[in-house]
Amino acid sequence: MSSTSSRPRGHGRLNWAPYALLTPAVAILLAALAYPVGWQLYTSTLKFGLAQQFGQPADFIGLSNYTELLSDPQIWSVIGRSLLFCFINAVLTVTIGVALALLMQAVTKAVRITLQVGLLLAWAMPVVTSMTVWVWLFNWHFGLVNWFLTKLGLPFTNHNWLEQPSSFYAIATAIVVWMSVPFVAFSVYAGLTQVSTEVMEAAQLDGALGHRRFTQIVLPLIRPVLMIVLLLQIIWDLRVFTQIQLLQDAGAPTASTDLLGTYIYRLGVGSSNFGLAAAMSVFVLILTVLLSAPYVRSLLKEDVV
C-alpha cells in the first residue's frame, strides 16, 4: 500500500482538494505566527529596549544586534551547552523509550498495563506541577533524595544539587527524560505492534534469536517511527525552557546554567533588550534548521515524512 501514490482521482486537472484541505491549518498558523515572526525579524534589526516598548522611536541598526551577539563569548558556551544537553537528552530518551517499548512486549498483560499507567502518570503531570515536586524532592535540607542517600551512608546531608552546573544538568536531564520517555515508549510500542506475530514467529523458526531478531527484523520495521521520534526529541530538547527556568528559579546560578531558551528569555523579558533577544531567536532558528537539514533531507529521501 503506497499512501502517497498519485491516485486516479483528480488526475489530469488542477486538483484543488488538497489546497482546500490545507486551508484551515495554514490559516491558523498564519493568524497566530505571521505577525509575531515578522515582528521578531524586524525587531532584530532595531535598537529596541524598554523605552521603545513604551513608545519611543526605535533606531534601525541593521545587523548590529547580530554582530554584538556573535562577538559575545558567552553565547557560544550557551550554544555548546544546549547542543550537548539536547544530544544527551534526546539519545537517552529514545534509548530508554525503545527499551521500555520492548519491555512492554515482553511482559504479561497485567504488568504491561501497570507499566503503561506508570508512564501515563508521569506524562500527564503538568510541567509546573512536576517541577514543583522534583524541586521538593531535591531540596537541599528537606528533600527526600538527600535523606535517602544519607541513609545509605553517603555524604549527602544538606547537599545542594543545584549549586554545580554538572549536578544541575544531571537533575534537569532526569526530569526531561522522565517527562519525555512516555511519549517515545508509546510511539515505539505502537510501531512494534505493526511487526506481526507471523513475522516474529517465522523469524523464531528460522532460528533468529535475541539481538539479531531485533536488529534484523524489528529495527528496520520501526525505523520510520524511530527516526521521527528522534528528530522531534532533538527539536524539543534544543528548545527546552520551562524546566530549566523553574530549576533556576529554585536557586541555581543562572549564567552558568543557561540554555538557549532561558538565555533568550533573560535577554528579552529579563533585561528588556528586545532587539538583541529577537536577533538571538532568529539566530537559534537558523542554527536549528542548519543542524537538522541533513537529517530532514534523509527523512524526505526515505519518504517517511
Partner 1 sequence: MKRTKRAVALAAVATAAALALSACSSDNQPNPSDSPTAQNITLWLAGGDTPDSLRDWLKSEYNSRTGGVLTIEEQAWGDLVTKLTTSLPDANNTPDVVELGNTQSPTFTNVGAFSDISDLYTELGGANLLQSFVAAGAVDGKNYALPYYFGSRYMFYRKDIYAAAGVAQPTTLEEFNQAVLRLTQVNPNGIADFSGFFIGGQDWRNGISWIFANGGDLAQKENGQWVMTLSDPNTIKGLQQLQDIFQNASKAPSTAKDESPWLYINDSDSTTDKAADGTETDLPTSLAAATIMAPGWAHWSIGDLVTVDGKPARQWNDDVFGVFALPGADGQPAPVFAGGSNIGVSAASRNQEGARELLRIIFSADYQRMLGEQGLGPANSLYVDSLGSDQFAQALIASAANSKLTPAAPGWAGIEGSKLMEEFFSKIAQGGDVVALAAEYDDVLTPMLNQR
Partner 2 sequence: MTVRPARAALARPTPRRRLRPGRLAANLVAVLIALAWAFPVYWMINSSLLPNAVLISSRPRLWPWGGSFDNYAAALASGSFFNSLKTSLIVTLIAVAACLLFAFCAALAISRYRFRGRTSFVLAILFIQMLPAEGLFIAQYKLLANVGLLNQAAGLAVLYTAAVVPFTIWMLRGFVAGVPADLEEAAMVDGCSRSGAFFRITFPLLAPGLVASGVYAFLQAWNEFTIALVIMQKEDARTLPLWLRGFIQASATRETDWGQVMAASTLVALPVIVFFLLVQGRLTSGLVAGAVKG
Residues in 100-129 that interact with partner 1 by CB under 8 A: none
CA–CA distance, 193 with 197 (Å, rounded to integer): 9
Interacting positions 7-36 with partner 2 (CB under 8 A): 7, 10, 15, 17-19, 21-26, 28-29, 31-33, 35-36
CB of 5 to partner 1, least distance (A): 16
Decide if residue 24 touches partner 1 (CB under 8 A): yes
Given partner 1, partner 2, none, residue 114, with its beta carbon under 5 to 8 Å by kind, binds partner 2
CB of 135 to partner 1, least distance (A): 12
List the x/- string, 121-160, binding to partner 2 by CB under 8 A. xxxxxxxxxx-xxx-xx---xx-x--x-------------
Q: Are 221 and 195 in contact (CB under 8 A)?
A: yes
The 3-state DSSP class for residue 236 equals helix
In sequence order, what are the beta bridge partners of 46?
60
Given partner 1, partner 2, none, residue 272, with its beta carbon under 5 to 8 Å by kind, binds partner 1
Q: Which stretch binds partner 1 (CB under 8 A): 63-71, 103-111, 125-133, 138-146?
A: 138-146
> Helix H segments across the chain?
17-29, 35-43, 50-53, 64-70, 73-106, 109-124, 127-137, 144-151, 165-192, 197-205, 210-213, 219-238, 242-249, 260-265, 274-301
The 3-state DSSP class for residue 129 equals helix
Interacting positions 208-247 with partner 1 (CB under 8 A): none
List the x/- string, 165-204, binding to partner 2 by CB under 8 A. -------------x--xxx--xx-xxxxxxxxxx------
Q: Which of 53, 67, 74, 216 binds partner 2 (CB under 8 A)?
A: 53
Q: Which of 12, 55, 155, 210 binds partner 1 (CB under 8 A)?
A: 55
User: Which candidate, 120, 116, 93, 75, places its Cα nearest to that of 255?
Assistant: 75
User: Which candidate, 66, 55, 90, places its Cα nearest to that of 295?
Assistant: 90
Q: Are 230 and 94 in contact (CB under 8 A)?
A: yes
CA–CA distance, 46 with 65 (Å, rounded to integer): 8
Given partner 1, partner 2, none, residue 149, with its beta carbon under 5 to 8 Å by kind, binds none
Buried b (16+ CB within 10 A) or exposed e, 13-24: eeeeeeeeeeee
Residues that bind partner 1 (CB under 8 A): 9, 16-17, 20-24, 27-28, 31, 49-51, 53-56, 140-142, 157-158, 160, 162-163, 248-249, 251-255, 266, 269-273
